[in-house]
A and B are shown apart, each in its own frame.
Chain A
């Protein structure tokens, strides 16, 4: 069955780089797009970016200068890297499968706290 699981450090210092991994199973990365969505504590959802089935990427314009999404299809993994982290980047980061514009499978999410 379809599964996604996020992993990464729970705590990142301000100005440092966040690296997250989304490990997927039950579907092919070359046939589906994977997106990252984040949610600050007690707040709403924000689309972060995506890697499409062909390998191209799209990013939230507010984050684009700091963000990179890539993948390793042989390992069924998608990576998110965001630099120059600030306290406002504190959030739960979800990876999600989006075959047709909506998000029908989600990972459990990983809480990332930006603090010194």
Chain B
């Protein structure tokens, strides 16, 4: 299975820029997607196919990358962005998720 590796946690101040990384153990083309999950809620799609903004998602969120290295960027970060962010690939079977990066605000 394709393993997706994310850093476990980040802490940033409101107004700053933050980049959350996801590295795949094998190539996934551009089929990497990003989700935001707040406690007690279902995940919410933010970015699909590496760099496409999902409907209704603020333009503060952006995605980049291809192959094995991908980045979700939030600029500027707002207090409401406190959440866990997951990457997910759909190029290789089975679909797999990263373990998540918990974003905290200082």
- Residue pair A58, B31 in contact (C-beta under 8 Å): no
Q: Name the residue of chain A whose CB is nearest to the CB of B54.
A: A104
Contact B90 A46 (CB under 8 A): no
Binds B, one of A10-18, A20-28, A75-83, A105-113: A105-113
Interface of chain A: mostly helix, strand, loop or mixed: loop
Within 8 A of A (CB), among B24-77: 31, 33, 35, 42-45, 48-49, 54-55
Among residues of A, the one whose C-beta sits closest to the C-beta of B1 is A61
**Other-chain contact of A47, B44, B45, B54, B96 (Cβ < 8 Å):** B96
In the complex, are the beta carbons of B42 and A109 less than 8 A apart? yes
In this complex, what residue of B is CB-closest to A49? B94
| Complex Cα spacing A23 to B95, Å | 23
Shortest distance from the beta carbon of A8 to any chain B beta carbon, whole Å? 16
**List of A residues within 8 angstroms of B97 by Cβ:** 37, 44-47
Distance (Å) between the CB of A67 and the closest chain B CB?
12
Instruction: Say whether A104 contacts B45, CB under 8 Å.
Output: yes
Pairwise interchain contact A101-B99, C-beta atoms closer than 8 A: no
A-B contact pairs, 14 of them (CB 8 A): A44-B97, A45-B97, A45-B100, A46-B97, A47-B95, A58-B94, A101-B31, A101-B90, A102-B45, A104-B48, A104-B55, A106-B42, A107-B42, A109-B42
Instruction: Check B45 against A103 for contact (C-beta < 8 Å).
Output: yes
Find out whether the CB atom of A102 lies under 8 angstroms from the CB atom of B43.
Answer: no
Q: Which residue on chain B has the smallest CB distance to residue A64?
A: B94
Q: B31 contacts which chain A residues (CB < 8 A)? A: 101
